[in-house]
Structure 1
Amino acid sequence: MDPFLDKAFTGGSTVLPLITEIPKICVQGLGQKEVQDLKKEKFDLIILNLFFMDYCFLSFVHYFKIPFVYAHAGALTNPYYDTIGSFNVPAISGNVYVMPEFPLTFKSKTEDHCFEHFVLCSQQSYIRTTRKTLEWPPKPGMPNVIHAGGAHIKAPRKLAQDLEDWVEGSGEEGFIFFSLGSALNPDFFPEEYRQILVKVFGSLKQKVLWKWNKETMPDLPKNVKLQKWLPQTDLLGHPKLKLFITHGGQLSTLEALYNGVPVIGIPIFSDQHTNMKIIESEGWGRAMELKKLDEHSFRILVQETLNNKT
């Protein structure tokens, strides 16, 4: 970090690690069984600790739909004013974490502004990567609309024995799950593209589970299994799954996100193109247009996605 920003963000103390770690700690704490069990209780009021904007516990306020109060033992600093709906004039008051010298100089005012901007960006960035709704970025709406992204997702269940045996047989290389959902009937799938997929899948070390409406195809590679219907959420939660190749539908991408599965999207129509653009921007998947599908580029895309540690 630049020495100037380092001083601005830390004030010679350990504030910076707190700022960057608090959102992660907050989300981890929220997921603890003892904390989640609080939802079984009844409360009339929630008192939240106002400490480095640990926003994730506001979810309890939304869950119980009861009043809440912030409690804070320290001095209010700039980002807190926005949180409580008040206002602040940093050019006059400075920031306790930056250790300003009074009267404030232009440099100290700049340091204070940098600190506030960094805090808000670091919090919002982490929350965006750990939470997902059907509406991002947020859009104005009325209270009779409730977005419930991922509400349909259940914890993965054990696969049917024959399918489990096939998956377990994939060894350390694991398997790839390929499904275009119901967006494109395989009977109408262009033959030239089917042949490309067959050639690429057949060249991989991984097994490939392909959702297809026919039981076989004449040039089916030995490492590829066809099946008309597959328990998608259970497969996406399987530890041997290495990659999900999808049409990029809303529910499929939410299920992949929930299970932490890397994605390659071949969008066909509607919101699928937008869903894949969002996934690419967030860094957990790649997209390829069907009309640009060719054997060389698709093989490279699959290998790069499989080997990308991020």
Structure 2
Amino acid sequence: MYSSKTMSKILLICFTLFVSYGEGAKILGVFMYPSISHQLVFQPIWKELSLRGHQVTIITPNPLKDPSLTNLTEIDVSFTYNKPAVKNPMRYVKKEQRSLTKVRAIFDVFMELFEEEMQSAGVQELLNKKDEKFDLFIVQISHYGNVFLPFANKYNTPVVGISSLGAFLHTHDVLGNPTHPVISPDILLGLSENMSFLERLNTFLYNISYRIYYYWVLLPEADKFSRKYFGDDIPYLGELDKNLSLVMLSANPLIHPPRPNVPNIININQLNVKEKKPLPKDIQEFLDSSPEGVIYFSLGSNVRSSSLSQELRKEIIGALAELPYKVIWKWEEDHLPNQPKNVMVRKWLPQQDILGHPNVKVFFMQGGLQSIEETINNEVPLVGMPFFTDQPANLRKIEELGMGLMIDHVSLTKDKLKAALLEVAQNKKYKENVIKGKAIINDQPMKGVEKAVWWIEYVLRHNGAKHLRSAAADMSFYNYFMVDVVLFLLACVILTVYIVMKIAKTFMKKPRKLKKN
């Protein structure tokens, strides 16, 4: 027989298990953008939710396909990786484009991809299930993911948005989050805190022009897209935006400057950072045999090295060939023309495991946020060559922090690249600053996944988070900027000046009386 104390413990455990199982929710997640670097941010979240007993259905181009996750259903849309917009995004978004041209290009690319995904068999099957119910909708809110908000309207659920980078201006508007053009410039502008007058003028005008373009052009187009798949009886997409309970943004105190956020914007980071695994034998031997040092070169998953122009590739190969170090390069094709003797190429590389090797001196990369977090965690300084979205802003901040250098791919020459790589590899200050940066970003009370899941379950517990919503989110434009108050005060000033001028004019016209002798 068990003692009364032991029986109490057993009953407590059974009760806890029962409550945990009974609280399991049905969650639908839509993470449709085909980019493994972005999907790596979201995968730990839906995996952890599944392990906690929630019934999770995910639409993703990168399914985990883990049979041990019995609560997880994944709708695979990986076929979008074969689309031209994914294979070579530089054809659509170029550095020299004007800001609103980039916005248009990004919007068109994503609408094209989303169109294909919404027409896929798995998504159509989900849409046609009349008896399906969910308790929460999670959506990749960056890159105009709000076109999927009718899912939440269909199932009458609260919404949690997650971004693998920052948020565009309209997302901040939806939550009533302040967007000072100088303190918090938009991620597409590639600006940091230290701006020139022309940069401040640019960000000010962009804040106005983006909103005009988005609310009058892009949002109506996105609404038409949503109605095509969810029917004409759904509310306007601009109204569905207001159902966001909270938004989680990938941000850390190093790369992103502090900004005043409303309570329902939650910063998360390092969700993609994993424990290191043993390297493949050939890569391990290559790194071990390079005590003088190794340069790791990868442009991530959105920019393919094999898609670089021949002129740019020639300058890069020329610089790498003259380095006193070996180089390991993520090259997506079978053969690299004019491959230098000191360079190893592979179509795929275990990035975090390579960065963890002590012989790696520099990471030559494109400036993606997830790659930056991984290189800082492994204490490796970097040389960055940005192409689009948040990459220029990220690398500009890295350069200001003294953790690496940024180079321009438009004006890149062999000598410029070689000088930058040698400077970062041989000057100890870059490594020292990265070590300091690592101490800062790792000093936090909760890891990224724990924090993200806690807030998701917070929304579930309270069936939304309207109590966190700022009053500014529901104010009209003229109320938020107090246009009526300003006009009233301006009218008062004009009226006062008019009255004073009238009185003065009256006194000036009054004839003087002459004295009689």
TM-score, normalising length from structure 1?
0.55
Q: Paired residue for 2:314?
A: 195
- How many Å apart are 1:152 and its aligned residue? 2.0
Contact 1:183–1:247 (CA under 8 A) maintained in structure 2: no
**Alignment partner of 1:160 out of 280, 291, 304:** 280
Out of 154-163 and 220-229, give the one that drifted further: 154-163
Tell me how far apart the structure 2 counterparts of residues 161 and 187 of structure 1 sit (CA, whole Å). Answer: 25
Tell me which amino acid in the other structure corresponds to 2:417.
Answer: F
Tell me how far apart the structure 2 counterparts of residues 226 and 274 of structure 1 sit (CA, whole Å). Answer: 29
2:289 matches 1:169? yes
**Alignment size in residue pairs:** 179
Q: Paired residue for 1:184?
A: 303
Q: Paired residue for 2:90?
A: none
Q: Paired residue for 2:364?
A: 245
2:336 matches 1:217? yes
- How many Å apart are 1:221 and its aligned residue? 0.8
2:353 matches 1:234? yes
Tell me how far apart the structure 1 counterparts of residues 255 and 358 of structure 2 sit (CA, whole Å). Answer: 29
Contact 2:298–2:305 (CA under 8 A) maintained in structure 1: no
Q: Paired residue for 1:141?
A: 261
Instruction: Report the RMSD for the aligned CA atoms in angstroms.
Output: 1.8
Tell me how far apart the structure 1 counterparts of residues 341 and 318 of structure 2 sit (CA, whole Å). Answer: 12
Contact 2:383–2:405 (CA under 8 A) maintained in structure 1: yes
Q: Paired residue for 2:375?
A: 256
Contact 1:135–1:147 (CA under 8 A) maintained in structure 2: no
The correspondence of residues 52-71 of structure 1 with structure 2, limited to 5 A, is none
2:425 matches 1:285? no
Q: Paired residue for 2:41?
A: none
3-state SS of 1:290 partner: coil
Contact 2:306–2:333 (CA under 8 A) maintained in structure 1: no
Contact 1:134–1:148 (CA under 8 A) maintained in structure 2: no
- How many Å apart are 1:135 and its aligned residue? 6.8
Tell me which amino acid in the other structure corresponds to 1:146.
Answer: I
- How many Å apart are 1:178 and its aligned residue? 0.4
Over 3 Å counting, the alpha-carbon distance change for 1:166 and 1:281 in structure 2 is: same
Contact 1:267–1:273 (CA under 8 A) maintained in structure 2: yes
Tell me which amino acid in the other structure corresponds to 1:267.
Answer: P
Over 3 Å counting, the alpha-carbon distance change for 1:282 and 1:134 in structure 2 is: closer
Contact 1:133–1:150 (CA under 8 A) maintained in structure 2: no
- How many Å apart are 1:207 and its aligned residue? 0.8
Contact 2:362–2:425 (CA under 8 A) maintained in structure 1: yes
Tell me how far apart the structure 2 counterparts of residues 304 and 287 of structure 1 sit (CA, whole Å). Answer: 12
Contact 1:134–1:149 (CA under 8 A) maintained in structure 2: no
Q: Paired residue for 1:303?
A: 422
Identity within the alignment, %: 36
3-state SS of 1:292 partner: coil
Which ranges in structure 2 are unaligned for 5 or more consecutive residues?
1-250, 430-517
Tell me how far apart the structure 2 counterparts of residues 257 and 203 of structure 1 sit (CA, whole Å). Answer: 26
Tell me how far apart the structure 2 counterparts of residues 307 and 174 of structure 1 sit (CA, whole Å). Answer: 10
Q: Point out the structure with max Rg over C-alpha.
A: 2
Q: Paired residue for 1:271?
A: 390
Contact 2:306–2:331 (CA under 8 A) maintained in structure 1: no
Over 3 Å counting, the alpha-carbon distance change for 1:138 and 1:218 in structure 2 is: closer
Cα deviation per residue 1:73-93 (whole Å; 9 max; x = unaligned)?
xxxxxxxxxxxxxxxxxxxxx
- How many Å apart are 1:134 and its aligned residue? 7.6
Tell me which amino acid in the other structure corresponds to 1:224.
Answer: V
Over 3 Å counting, the alpha-carbon distance change for 1:135 and 1:242 in structure 2 is: closer
3-state SS of 2:418 partner: helix
Tell me how far apart the structure 2 counterparts of residues 135 and 182 of structure 1 sit (CA, whole Å). Answer: 20
Tell me how far apart the structure 1 counterparts of residues 286 and 375 of structure 2 sit (CA, whole Å). Answer: 21
Contact 1:174–1:206 (CA under 8 A) maintained in structure 2: yes
Contact 2:395–2:406 (CA under 8 A) maintained in structure 1: yes
The correspondence of residues 63-102 of structure 1 with structure 2, limited to 5 A, is none
Contact 1:177–1:241 (CA under 8 A) maintained in structure 2: yes
Contact 1:263–1:286 (CA under 8 A) maintained in structure 2: yes
Tell me which amino acid in the other structure corresponds to 2:339.
Answer: L
Tell me how far apart the structure 2 counterparts of residues 231 and 305 of structure 1 sit (CA, whole Å). Answer: 23
3-state SS of 1:173 partner: coil
TM-score, normalising length from structure 2?
0.33
3-state SS of 2:374 partner: helix
Tell me how far apart the structure 2 counterparts of residues 259 and 243 of structure 1 sit (CA, whole Å). Answer: 11
Which ranges in structure 1 are unaligned for 5 or more consecutive residues?
1-130
Q: Paired residue for 1:94?
A: none
Over 3 Å counting, the alpha-carbon distance change for 1:219 and 1:135 in structure 2 is: closer
